A and B are shown apart, each in its own frame.
Chain A
Amino acid sequence: MIKVMYFAYLKDITGVKEEWLEIDGNLVRNVLNKIFEKYPKLKDAPIMVVVDKKIVKEDEVVEEGDEIRVYPPVCGG
């Protein structure tokens, strides 16, 4: 199981701040596919994924118990 946390307006789309998801595979891409399957509105969204405080790419590995932060495009400043 992977803990997924949603930020800003993604929380409005998913209806939850965080949730545990069962993932097929061990790549960030697999997590994203699971999220897209559950929330079709997010498919092809320009979202950013952060693991252990670092931005990760789709082909990077996630491990059981990891916390995945899912961000919509950021806009500070």
Chain B
Amino acid sequence: MKNMNNKVILTRERIDISDVLNRVSKSEECGAVVMFIGTVRGLEGGEKVHELNIEIDMDVALETLQKLRQDTIKEYGIQDLVVVHRYGTLMVGDTIVVIVVASAHRKESFDACEYFIDELKRIVPIWKLEKRENGMHWVGSEWLK
């Protein structure tokens, strides 16, 4: 995570939120910075979750996120967007994803941030395997039943 020009990062390491914030480029016109932090829930559908394992199809995820970032910047007229997403084994309360958006005014940042996380959840090849008290559960696999 050292290269500060990196705006899209997939990492096994714990996310340092201030590092993500420092990666955002802001001009003098920038008056709004919005951050979204996604964390591991300890309770899912009434069941206790002990651990979360995140699997990523790395090459495709990276390229999809880079394109999504470019499209979001263009579509919402924001100044910058940085996203860091974890993979591997996470514990309850750990940060899964951080998205930081900078823009002249808050509305563009809020809207862009919401659009970005919605699209990330829709098209980026990332999957979650929860270790629950009653066994393992792949998130989104309900269609198999």
Contact status A74-B59, CB under 8 Å: no
What is the chain B residue whose CB lies nearest that of A13?
A: B144
Contact status A77-B97, CB under 8 Å: yes
B30 contacts the other chain (Cβ, under 8 Å)?
no
A74 to B128, CA, bound (A): 9
Query: With a CB–CB cut-off of 8 A, which chain B residues contact A69?
Result: 57, 60, 125
Query: With a CB–CB cut-off of 8 A, which chain B residues contact A71?
Result: 57, 125
Query: With a CB–CB cut-off of 8 A, which chain A residues contact B35?
Result: none
Interface string of B108-137 (1 = CB under 8 A from A): 000000000100111111111100000000
Contact status B140-A72, CB under 8 Å: yes
Using known A-B contacts A50-B60, A53-B63, A69-B60, determine if residue A75 contacts B125 with beta carbons closer than 8 Å: no
Contact status B124-A74, CB under 8 Å: yes
Query: With a CB–CB cut-off of 8 A, which chain B residues contact A77?
Result: 38, 85, 96-97, 117, 120-121, 126
Interface string of B84-109 (1 = CB under 8 A from A): 01000000000011000000000000
Contact status A8-B60, CB under 8 Å: no
A73 to B144, CA, bound (A): 11
A36 contacts the other chain (Cβ, under 8 Å)?
no
Contact status B60-A74, CB under 8 Å: no
A15 contacts the other chain (Cβ, under 8 Å)?
no
Interface string of A1-19 (1 = CB under 8 A from B): 0000001110000000000
23 intermolecular pairs with C-beta atoms under 8 Å apart: A7-B127, A8-B55, A8-B127, A8-B129, A9-B141, A48-B125, A50-B60, A50-B125, A53-B63, A69-B125, A72-B138, A72-B140, A73-B140, A74-B121, A74-B126, A74-B127, A75-B127, A75-B139, A76-B56, A76-B61, A77-B38, A77-B96, A77-B117
